[in-house]
A and B are shown apart, each in its own frame.
Chain A
Amino acid sequence: MNPLSSRHALRPFLAGLCLCCASIAIAAEDGWSQSQVALRRLTEAQYRQTIADLFGADLQIPGRFEHDIRTEGLLAVGAARETYSPGGLEQYDLNARSIAGQITDAAHRKVLVSCGPARANQFDEKCAARFLGRVGEGLFRRPLSANELKDAVRVATAAFKAQADFYLGLQYALVVFLESPNFLFRVETAHVTESGNYELDAVSKAGRLSFFLWNAPPDDELLKAALSRSLNTRGGLSRQVERLMASPRLEQGVRAFFSDMLGYESFERLNLDPAIYPRFNNAVASDAREESLRLIVDQLITEKADYRDLFTTRKTFLTRRLGSIYRVPVANATGWSEYEFSPDAGRAGLLTRAAFLETTSNPGTTSPTLRGKAIRELFLCQHVPPPPGNVDFSIVQDTKNSILTTSRLRFQAHTREPMCAGCHKIMDPLGLAFEHFDGTGQARLTENGTPIDASGRLDNKPFNDASEFNAVLHNDPALASCLVSRALAYGIGRAPGEREQDALTVLKKEFTADGYRYIDLLRQMTSSDYFYKLDVPKNDEQKHAGSRVSAEKQTKG
């Protein structure tokens, strides 16, 4: 029997872990996260990537992950305000025991544990220290302190004494690592500069840089640069930025950012009515998501195109399943084919593709409101107030109404109610531009036999359909400005504060001057001091310096 399956055996570790979690939660409540030193919970993707980087992609991770919370438009910002629930902790525990068991099983230990005693019933302390030191550094994204390593070896020794198996001893120590907040949270620490400002220390810098560009922990070279303080020099930082940006792993980081910015976690709960949309299924949804991410990577990284062109390009990548939705030919029977829509297909830009159209629809109908809201919030960084609790949606849901045959007519009737009119006026005209596409993204010219009118105005600029709308959106200064704000917030883990508006202005100006090249924005942002500085109000300095020290103590405990 695997002793790790015994909850009794884990009790001491769980108790310690709970104490640790509690202290972090208290720190967060105490205003630590609000004071700009981020303590961010690893996202599921980051957790998986870390395990894959350190131990190989073949390791199974059986547990579920708690949903991340979207704050200020980003999960990455919400991650700085999250702890975990007792249910979530159970899942982390399940994952930790499973991963530790796999690392030390007979098949993996030969590769992953490079040393070992002659016989498993002997304990090799040097080997245990070497292995745990290396693995701990990878998981905590920093070298272990002497005490941390000593504690880990002590756990392995104690477990060995009970079980008489060297590898079971390592398993126990690994479980402690994998359940530690130092692994599950990205802990960023700061120091005070000569000018009196707070700045991330080099190891935290490395983590911020790596998670921003790769959505993965720092590799050995980046960590080495941090430990040698080379990362604190302009040249050293620049070398690492260029190296990370030249890596194929940059795509992973770009995908993670846009998945977050575009709210793609909504794909997990996307469920369109099969009676109304029989062509929709999970595979179509998965392809739709991948289509848009491929297009983003192609346009922004491969082609180094103007970010705004993402909203007007007719280029895309398709599978046969998506071809069936778009009713266009797809060359390859399996996998992906590049494709360019014809000018009269009305498929100009990211917003005319299945991913946006599906995630902004109701299960059985399109929703001009959801589509308009998404454009305002996701792409223009504008805030749309939530609807009041007592709204009567009966008119908009009556899709078979013989008089109000189109969405436009139904929403016009709905917005005659004064309490609804204000918000709908800023959302619906934008969403109605996409009425030529149904809830799965299939083109249509009529609804209930009535020709669809997709015309409208965006801030007084007229358009007749989605393509024209996208052309107007392309030239809206808020489009590019929103991307810069979101990217910075994503990187630093919080919405830019009042005192960072100057930096934001500079970034936006440079982004414009560079021709809206996202790749240049990434370089500019990660090479700049403000990406690593902290916006701490002067009168709080003392308090936060104290918080930092206490947080360090807590996380090491």
Chain B
Amino acid sequence: MYALPWKCIWLAASLGCTRDSGLLLWGSMFQNICLKWLGNCCKVAIGIWATGGLCAGMAAKANAMSEATGGRILGFAVTFFEPAKSLDTALDCPTGFNVGPDIEATLARYPEAERQNIRDNRLLLYRALMHRGPTGPNICLHPTAEPDPGFLIGQSPAQRGLNLMADGGMSGALACDHPRGTDPDMGEPVDNQYTRVDACTQAKQAKVAATTAVSEAPQSAPIVQGEMSVLIEVMGVRDSTNDPDVTVGIYSSDDPVAVDKAGRIETDASFHPVADKKYQTIVHGRIVDGVLITDFADLNLLADHAVSKLDGSRHTLQWRSARLRLKLDPDGSLAGLLGGYADWEKLYERRTRGGTASLNNAMGSVGELQGNTTCSGFYNALRRAADGFRDPKTGQCTHISTAYHVRAIPAFIIHEVPSASISAQNQR
């Protein structure tokens, strides 16, 4: 009973070698066959194999994958992550910009004697606007409760984004018609309806700055402040200029970035991905002329949010059919775009309510006034612009194409560690 039959030892050793040599698929098939044929003996052997008893040194998943595919592992920590903006607001918004709710129309619903008091008292005015009068529902919570006031969206054919309809991406009955833009750098059609919806909305305090300049900023405040840590791992890289077969991991991390005394995020810091597999996306990719392009995959990223943190919830950013297109710069950093489809109703909630249900008026009319927007107009614009994952029953697309600027710097990504010690195996 205690001494393993030689077959089990041999089997475990074989499996170990299979895993080491990278034939994971064969290893997996072998396990299934083995389980059927050899019963408990094999289970013991696989147990030994799986726990690393015969595969000492199988430290991190990344290392295992590296060994599986060969080549190097490149780890990165994202330093900049923000939605793409309009490339040219003059071209996008030839008729002007969106405005906030109609104050006069709202005040007209009150007795004349009360109007001046409401006009003079900011809190009363916000409350009046929130309900569009003395008795109506909260418009940001119920954006369909008033007629669509209309919403100006971008018109320019030049757009920053990725082609989400090529390479087996969005197509056929799942897609909704939409005007496709062209990325001036890539010269190919792109899908980024979210930036189009957002193109003609300028918050009062940022009217001047809200242009392409934001994409040049090296670091995003939520990342510097530790509200969001995202890791990118490129595995099996044999040639960092052209490699048709790499594996890309995109992970959330609970480890905040380290910032030096000059305020810069430090390179070569170490991070753990979060344990929840929901926030670990593994996808195939390729490198073409120094540009990493991934296949399509669903992606979830964790982000704390000033509002959502208040009720203890964590914010999840979700995309379906998402891909990365990132240039591997000579200095070791990555820069490019993430494209993918986001649930437009969740986007609306996050913009208007901080992504949390318990703080239902977190943004409300304050946001409408300060943001020069209306909840109902924005809601309906998102609905009209939605271009992916059509609901066959309603015919309405449930998701909208988006694009985010991404920059990342070299980092060490630490997966499961078998002991307190790690070696220089994945040392840069």
Chain A contacts to B: CB under 8 angstroms? 274-275, 278-281, 320-321, 323-324, 327-333, 337-342, 345
Contact = CB atoms under 8 A, between A and B. Distances in A.
B412 A328 contact: yes
B424 to A, nearest CB: 3
B262 A278 contact: yes
Contacts of B412: 323, 328-330
Contact of A329 (B255, B262, B420, B422): B422
Given A337-B420, A340-B423, A345-B424, A281 B269 contact: no
A-B pairs with lowest CB-CB distance, top 9: A342-B424, A329-B412, A278-B260, A327-B268, A274-B261, A278-B262, A338-B421, A330-B270, A278-B261
B272 interface: yes
A278 B426 contact: no
B420 A331 contact: yes
B304 interface: no
Contacts of A327: 267-268, 428
A180 B381 CA distance: 82
Contact of A340 (B261, B272, B421, B428): B421
Most buried by A among B258, B264, B413: B258
A342 B427 contact: yes
Contacts of B261: 274, 278-281
A323 B270 contact: yes
B270 A320 contact: yes
Contacts, number: 77
Interface in B391-428: 412-414, 417, 420-424, 426-428
B243 interface: no
Contacts of B270: 320, 323-324, 329-331, 333
A337 B424 contact: no
A424 B268 CA distance: 36
B298 interface: no
Contacts of B267: 324, 327
Contacts of A338: 420-422
Nearest to B410: A327
B245 interface: no
Interface string B3-42: 0000000000000000000000000000000000000000
Contacts of A341: 424, 427
Give the bracket for the number of chain B residues in contact with chain A: 20 to 34
B349 interface: no
Given A329-B422, A331-B422, A323 B268 contact: yes
A339 B421 contact: yes
Nearest to B416: A331
B86 to A, nearest CB: 34
A321 B255 CA distance: 12
Contact of B262 (A274, A320, A328, A331): A274
Interface in B265-281: 266-270, 272
A323 B269 contact: yes
Interface of B: 254-255, 258, 260-262, 264, 266-270, 272, 412-414, 417, 420-424, 426-428
Given A323-B270, A328-B427, A329-B270, A278 B421 contact: no
Contacts of A281: 261
Contacts of A280: 261
A205 to B, nearest CB: 40
Given A330-B270, A330-B414, A337-B420, 5 more contacts: A320-B258, A331-B414, A340-B424, A342-B427, A345-B424
A303 to B, nearest CB: 14
A105 to B, nearest CB: 40
Nearest to B428: A327
A367 B203 CA distance: 53
Most buried by A among B258, B413, B420: B420
Nearest to A339: B422
B268 A324 contact: yes
Given A323-B269, A329-B412, A331-B417, A275 B262 contact: yes
B264 A278 contact: yes
A295 to B, nearest CB: 14
Contacts of A340: 421, 423-424
A278 B260 CA distance: 5
Contacts of A330: 270, 412, 414, 422
A345 B258 contact: no
Contacts of A279: 260-261, 266
A404 B268 CA distance: 31
A135 B337 CA distance: 70
A329 to B, nearest CB: 3
Most buried by A among B268, B270, B413, B414: B270
B73 to A, nearest CB: 11
B307 to A, nearest CB: 26
A324 B421 contact: no
Nearest to B256: A333
28 contacts: A274-B261, A279-B261, A279-B266, A280-B261, A320-B255, A323-B268, A324-B270, A327-B267, A328-B412, A328-B428, A329-B427, A330-B270, A331-B417, A331-B421, A332-B420, A333-B254, A333-B270, A333-B272, A337-B420, A337-B421, A338-B421, A339-B421, A339-B422, A339-B424, A340-B423, A340-B424, A341-B424, A341-B427
Contacts of B422: 329-331, 337-339
Contacts of A331: 270, 414, 417, 420-422
A427 B254 CA distance: 47
A265 B136 CA distance: 71
Nearest to A273: B261
Nearest to B263: A278
A87 to B, nearest CB: 33
Nearest to A336: B420
Contacts of B423: 339-340, 342
Contacts of A339: 421-424
A331 B428 CA distance: 15
Contacts of A275: 262
B102 to A, nearest CB: 51
Contacts of B266: 279, 324
A281 B424 CA distance: 25
A315 to B, nearest CB: 9
A324 B258 CA distance: 9
B251 to A, nearest CB: 14
Nearest to A272: B261
A324 B426 CA distance: 14
A418 to B, nearest CB: 41
